């Protein structure tokens, strides 16, 4: 029946990935996750999007905060802040074990994909989650206040600085994860789904990897995106704010244009159905449905709708 590839960032992406994992068998789905936000902190290796996707699929993610683990405790954080003032990035006691294990595994020479597999196994996740790359691509935000490492922009400064551009350092040396790259070029690829993640911060790093964009243009499989924009706003995160800062209306039409060179279909929210005709005029199919995933049922419903929509499309 072939395999579905999904490109995924953090929270919003993880919700759809969870839905997809509920309706596809482990061998029918590959989740390629953004690692441009990865960073070292306190000697730990933190992969925010991988962790969010893992924790979400393992059913241990905190449902309200949008990051980290449910029932987390903060004893370590309280103690370390006695020694240094680095308390802007919150590390829970349980979450810490993931980052410490990963840092040590990488130090002993394991690749990020290998460590991710080990962590997924430990969490009992059967579906395949891979980092977009094992290489140290780093997202840098160019703002009115200078160049900022991703976590400084995103967490420490709460996305307040005005974004002028986004750069992916070391991208020219980064190779896409082999399993991900192989699937993109495989006739077994059944569809590609871009999760409702931030186009600039979560999807672009994946697209920037050598061969990914051209493979998306040339694949025979349909490529669909679930729009992260609902009613002119992003449900979570700074996508809409950044679009405005980049002189792009915060609309589904902008999303369609942004992915135009490879996109076959866009899924937009019921409230945005008025945007459908303009997008269709671009030669991109549109599916209008509820894209706001509040409950587990919403995630499964959106995953089913997305797959149905994608499977029904024929590539241009």
Question: Could you list the residues that contact its own copies (CB under 8 A)?
Answer: 42-43, 72-73, 75-76, 78-80, 82-84, 92-98, 100-101, 103-104, 107, 118-119, 122-123
Q: What angle do CA 201, 3, 60 make, to 5 degrees?
A: 55
Least CB distance from residue 133 to its own copies, whole Å? 22
DSSP symbol at 133:
B
Least CB distance from residue 129 to its own copies, whole Å? 16
Least CB distance from residue 235 to its own copies, whole Å? 30
C-beta closer to its own copies: residue 151 or 306: 151
Residues 6+ positions from 313 with CB-CB distance below 8 Å: 222, 224, 264, 265, 285
Strand positions, DSSP E, 170-239 = 189-194, 223-226, 229-230, 233-234
Least CB distance from residue 77 to its own copies, whole Å? 8
C-beta closer to its own copies: residue 42 or 278: 42
Are the C-beta atoms of 49 and 34 separated by less than 8 Å?
yes
Residues 6+ positions from 58 with CB-CB distance below 8 Å: 123, 124, 125
C-beta closer to its own copies: residue 83 or 295: 83
Count the alpha carbons within 13 Å of 18 in the hemisphere toward its beta carbon.
25
Task: Find tokens 């991109």 and name the residue.
Answer: 284
Residues 6+ positions from 243 with CB-CB distance below 8 Å: 229, 249, 250, 254
Least CB distance from residue 301 to its own copies, whole Å? 32
C-beta closer to its own copies: residue 26 or 43: 43
Least CB distance from residue 101 to its own copies, whole Å? 4
C-beta closer to its own copies: residue 124 or 283: 124
SS3 letters across 267-303: EEEHHHHHHHHHHHHCCCEEEEECCCCCCHHHHHHHH
C-beta closer to its own copies: residue 69 or 242: 69
Decide: helix, strand or coil at residue 312. Answer: coil
Q: How far, in Å, are 114, 129, 175, 233 from residue 236 at the CA level?
A: 30, 22, 29, 9
C-beta closer to its own copies: residue 76 or 89: 76
Least CB distance from residue 72 to its own copies, whole Å? 8
Q: Which helix (H) or strand (E) holds 240?
A: helix 239-245
C-beta closer to its own copies: residue 118 or 210: 118
Least CB distance from residue 179 to its own copies, whole Å? 22
Over the Cα atoms of the chain, what is R_g? 19
DSSP symbol at 68:
S
């Amino acid at each position: 029946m072939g395999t579905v590839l999904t490109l995924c960032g953090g929270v919003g992406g993880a919700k759809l990935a969870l839905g997809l994992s509920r309706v596809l068998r482990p061998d029918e789905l590959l989740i390629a996750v953004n690692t441009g936000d990865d960073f070292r902190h306190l000697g730990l290796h933190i992969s925010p999007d991988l962790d969010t996707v893992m924790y979400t699929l393992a059913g241990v993610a905190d449902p309200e905060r949008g990051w980290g683990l449910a029932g987390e405790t903060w004893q370590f954080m309280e103690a370390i802040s006695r020694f240094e003032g680095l308390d802007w990035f919150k590390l829970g006691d349980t979450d810490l074990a993931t980052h410490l294990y990963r840092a040590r595994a990488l130090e002993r020479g394991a690749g990020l994909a290998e460590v991710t597999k080990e962590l997924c196994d430990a969490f009992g996740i059967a579906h395949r989650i891979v980092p977009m790359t094992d290489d140290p691509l780093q997202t840098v935000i160019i703002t009115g206040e200078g160049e900022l490492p991703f976590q400084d922009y995103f967490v420490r400064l709460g996305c307040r600085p005005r974004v002028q551009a986004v750069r992916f350092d070391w991208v020219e040396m980064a190779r896409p994860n082999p399993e991900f790259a192989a699937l993109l070029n495989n006739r077994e690829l059944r569809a590609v789904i871009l999760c409702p993640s931030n186009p600039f911060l979560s999807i672009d790093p994946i697209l920037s990897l050598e061969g990914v964009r051209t493979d998306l243009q040339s694949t025979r499989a349909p490529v669909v995106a679930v729009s992260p924009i609902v009613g002119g706003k992003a449900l979570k995160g700074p996508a809409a704010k950044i679009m405005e800062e980049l002189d792009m209306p915060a609309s589904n039409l902008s999303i369609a244009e942004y992915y135009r060179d490879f996109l076959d279909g866009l899924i937009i929210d019921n409230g945005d159905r008025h945007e459908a005709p303009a997008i269709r005029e671009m030669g991109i199919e549109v599916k209008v449905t509820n894209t706001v995933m509040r409950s587990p049922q919403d995630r499964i419903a959106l995953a089913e709708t997305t797959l149905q929509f994608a499977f029904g499309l024929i590539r241009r």
